[in-house]
């Protein structure tokens, strides 16, 4: 089974929180998805838009769930898709199961760009063991062109098995001060280690539809609804939202809040305390309805 890194990146610079207030008003946006292709595009994700490692998991699951590409070792699910995924023109539900839980060691691997002073001992990137190249590749690509910064450090947690640790020249302690690639050298270090729980995540694909018409029909079957008892004011709100946005007043009118509750009475595609997305049949068309609840919108304190 090919080893992959699926741990979150380690930030090495402090980031100040964003200040400001959220708009306290609610809103409704309606986008026409009566066309099958438009609805399919809205509801699904293209495998091509996923990361390279996630694309590989999807490909392995679709083409053969016994394929090693369909399995990844990670501390948490490396890929979770709430919506169907489009792969080579067909649409699939991608699921997973976790097996073989065990403890392994995670090392905080850090590289230093434009190090000063320069590393005394170096190794060519191409001469690193494959396990180290895999860990370092993403770090190097992320800042490789930032030649104006000195001693910029960037790191990532990287899980190594015992066998990989024995093979590595980076962990548990680097055997070299730096790594050279394309005539440039970065410093290399390890800031610490800890035991983490790792599992094998095995992915499977269920064919949902072979084309856009099929997946659009499935979306309508599962989620489409119509309102039976709208007031004139609520119809006016929906008409304003067609192809644009209708915003509530502050405070919102009773008609607006009741309309939001009507949406919430139906199954949505993505719903949380702040609002959600629904598939609404209205005025002879199908609409992708994005609703923000005025009572659920957070404001800065």
Domain boundaries of the chain, sorted by first residue: 102-198
Sorted by sequence, the CB contacts under 8 Å of residue 117 that are 6+ apart come out as none
Q: pLDDT over 70 for what percent of the chain?
A: 87
Of the ranges 15-19, 133-137, 289-293, which one carries the lowest mean pLDDT score? 15-19
Q: Which residues of 178-192 are buried (b: 16+ CB within 10 A; e: fewer)?
A: bbbbeeebbbbbbee
Question: Residue 116 pLDDT more than 50?
Answer: yes
pLDDT at site 6: 41
Residues 238-287 pLDDT 10s: 999 999 999 998 889 999 999 999 999 999 999 999 999 999 999 999 99
pLDDT at site 117: 93
Question: Residue 191 pLDDT more than 80?
Answer: yes
pLDDT at site 18: 34
pLDDT at site 35: 98
pLDDT at site 68: 87
Residues 194-235 pLDDT 10s: 999 999 999 999 999 999 999 999 999 999 999 999 999 999
Mean pLDDT of the chain: 88
Phi and psi for 146 in degrees, rounded to 5?
-90, 75
pLDDT at site 5: 44
pLDDT at site 2: 39
Residue 140 CA to residue 158 CA, distance in Å, equals: 14
Question: Residue 61 pLDDT more than 80?
Answer: yes
Residue 163 CA to residue 70 CA, distance in Å, equals: 22
Taking residues 140-162, what's their average pLDDT? 79
Higher-pLDDT residue of 144 and 44 is: 44
pLDDT at site 52: 84
């Amino acid at each position: 089974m090919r080893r992959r890194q699926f741990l979150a990146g380690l930030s090495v610079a402090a980031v100040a929180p964003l200040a400001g207030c959220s708009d306290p008003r609610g809103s409704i946006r309606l986008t026409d998805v009566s066309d099958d292709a438009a609805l399919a595009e809205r509801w699904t994700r293209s495998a091509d838009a996923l990361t390279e490692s996630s694309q590989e998991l999807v490909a392995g699951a679709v083409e053969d769930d016994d394929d090693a590409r369909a399995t990844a070792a990670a501390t948490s699910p490396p890929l979770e898709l709430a919506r169907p995924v489009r792969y080579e023109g067909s649409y699939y539900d991608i699921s997973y199961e976790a097996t073989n839980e065990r403890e392994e060691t995670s090392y905080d691997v850090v590289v230093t760009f434009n190090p000063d002073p320069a590393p005394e001992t170096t190794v060519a990137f191409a001469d690193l063991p494959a396990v180290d190249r895999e860990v370092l590749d993403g770090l190097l690509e992320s800042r490789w062109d930032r030649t104006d910064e000195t001693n910029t450090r960037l790191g990532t947690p990287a899980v190594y098995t015992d066998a990989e640790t024995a093979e590595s020249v980076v962990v548990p302690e680097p055997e070299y001060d730096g790594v050279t690639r394309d005539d440039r050298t970065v410093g290399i270090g390890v800031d610490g280690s800890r035991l983490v729980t790792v599992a094998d995540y095995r992915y499977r694909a269920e064919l949902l539809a072979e084309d856009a018409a099929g997946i659009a029909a499935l979306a309508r079957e599962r989620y489409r609804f119509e309102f039976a008892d709208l007031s004139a004011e609520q119809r006016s709100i929906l008409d304003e939202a067609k192809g644009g946005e209708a915003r509530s007043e502050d405070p919102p009118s009773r008609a607006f809040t009741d309309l939001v509750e009507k949406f919430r009475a139906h199954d949505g595609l993505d719903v949380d305390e702040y609002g959600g997305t629904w598939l609404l049949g209205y005025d002879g068309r199908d609409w992708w309805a994005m609703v923000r609840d005025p009572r659920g919108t957070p404001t800065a304190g």
